A = this chain, B = another copy of it.
Amino acid sequence: MTGEFGAIAGIAARLPSAPPGETWIGDDAAVVRLAAGWLLLAADTVVAGVHADLSLTSVEDLGWKAMAANLSDLAAMGGEPGHALVTVAGPPSSDLDRLYAGIGDAARRYSCPVVGGDLVNAPTLVVTVAVTGTVQGQPVLRRGARPGDRLWATGPMGAAAAGLRLLRGGGGGGSAAAVAARQAHSRPLPLLAEGRAARLAGATSMIDVSDGFGADIAHLADESGVGFELISLPVAPAATLEEALGGGEDYQLVFSAPDDATVSNAFRGLPAPIALGRVVADRSVRTLHGTKLDARGWQHEW
């Protein structure tokens, strides 16, 4: 079994590589140069029955998630939303009105209008969103973390995975933790303001936690050629440690930055980011509380 990451690496190896300064396959969004600056490009696909169980969440939520996954990729570059293209492949019976209601909710809330797309017949409902984005100054890539930088998270991990577990088990009740977890699964929020703050805080690298914390911090370390020593893994109230490590899809951002005071200033007015630990030079060192951390992320099987 190659796994999604292996398949992507194989594909990337067979396609032309980016010119100096640009970033193509392998980060949260591609970065291409325009006359006027940088254009960010990202695309994500959501499949009914694979990424969303329509017996547990609604088709509006599926539309929202397809947009949110892309907006989170822009957030992870420190970028601003531009425009979205939406393509829907699905059975003629698909409830397009409700699907586009969810897409439209996200498009309005994050100022990322849908400007085109495609609509085709297919046996399975597959929603693909592609977005453009812009960034003031330099985008924050996955590569760039430096030994000595502090690692930060914008919030606790595992809420979306906990929410899915609760929904599968009948809901989980009305506690604040359960409500937040279900919300994190069905209407995850792209953290655009936080991504912008991290960029302004001088973040040297950033990623959104879509595959799972363990996998995504490993991606960041791999791309930067560094290791890390974590002293904290913030776990969402409703989540288990395993969900926090492997769950993903609640789109928290993880970033590295050299100066704590600059981070504090940049996040004024936003939830304070949580210090996770430090970047170290030895890339074989990857620990949480001194114990080796496996990259136990969620890989879609190929």
Q: Could you tell me the distance between the alpha carbons of A96 and B3 in the complex, rounded to whole angstroms?
A: 13
Q: Could you tell me the distance between the alpha carbons of A150 and B34 in the complex, rounded to whole angstroms?
A: 36
In the complex, what residue of chain B is closest to A4 when comparing beta carbons? B119
State which of B97, B100, B108, B132 has its C-beta within 8 Å of the C-beta of A41.
B132
Asked if B25 and A114 make an inter-chain contact with CB atoms under 8 angstroms apart, the answer reads yes
Write the nearest CB–CB distance from A21 to chain B, whole angstroms: 13
In the complex, what residue of chain B is closest to A40 when comparing beta carbons? B116
Asked if A43 and B128 make an inter-chain contact with CB atoms under 8 angstroms apart, the answer reads yes
Is A176 at the interface (CB under 8 A from chain B)?
no
Asked if A124 and B123 make an inter-chain contact with CB atoms under 8 angstroms apart, the answer reads yes
Copies assembled:
2
Asked if A14 and B104 make an inter-chain contact with CB atoms under 8 angstroms apart, the answer reads yes
12 A–B contacts from the bound complex (CB under 8 Å)? A11-B119, A16-B108, A24-B113, A27-B116, A29-B116, A30-B83, A35-B35, A41-B83, A45-B122, A87-B128, A92-B302, A123-B123
Write the nearest CB–CB distance from A18 to chain B, whole angstroms: 7
Write the nearest CB–CB distance from A49 to chain B, whole angstroms: 8
Contacts A97-B14, A100-B14; is A50 near B87 (CB within 8 Å)? no
Asked if A120 and B30 make an inter-chain contact with CB atoms under 8 angstroms apart, the answer reads no
Query: How many A residues have CB within 8 A of the partner chain?
Result: 66
Asked if B119 and A25 make an inter-chain contact with CB atoms under 8 angstroms apart, the answer reads no
- Report B-chain residues with C-beta under 8 Å of the C-beta of A121: 47, 50, 300-302
- Report B-chain residues with C-beta under 8 Å of the C-beta of A51: 120
Is A261 at the interface (CB under 8 A from chain B)?
no
Chain A residues near B (Cβ < 8 Å): 4, 7-8, 10-11, 14-16, 18, 22, 24-25, 27, 29-30, 32, 34-37, 39, 41-47, 49-51, 82-83, 85-89, 92, 94, 96-97, 100-101, 104, 107-108, 113-124, 126, 128, 130, 132, 300-302
In the complex, what residue of chain B is closest to A134 when comparing beta carbons? B34
Q: Nearest 9 pairs between A and B by C-beta?
A: A130-B130, A35-B36, A30-B115, A30-B116, A24-B115, A43-B85, A128-B128, A36-B36, A47-B122
Write the nearest CB–CB distance from A2 to chain B, whole angstroms: 9
In the complex, what residue of chain B is closest to A1 when comparing beta carbons? B92
Write the nearest CB–CB distance from A133 to chain B, whole angstroms: 12
In the complex, what residue of chain B is closest to A84 when comparing beta carbons? B41
- Report B-chain residues with C-beta under 8 Å of the C-beta of A83: 30, 32, 41
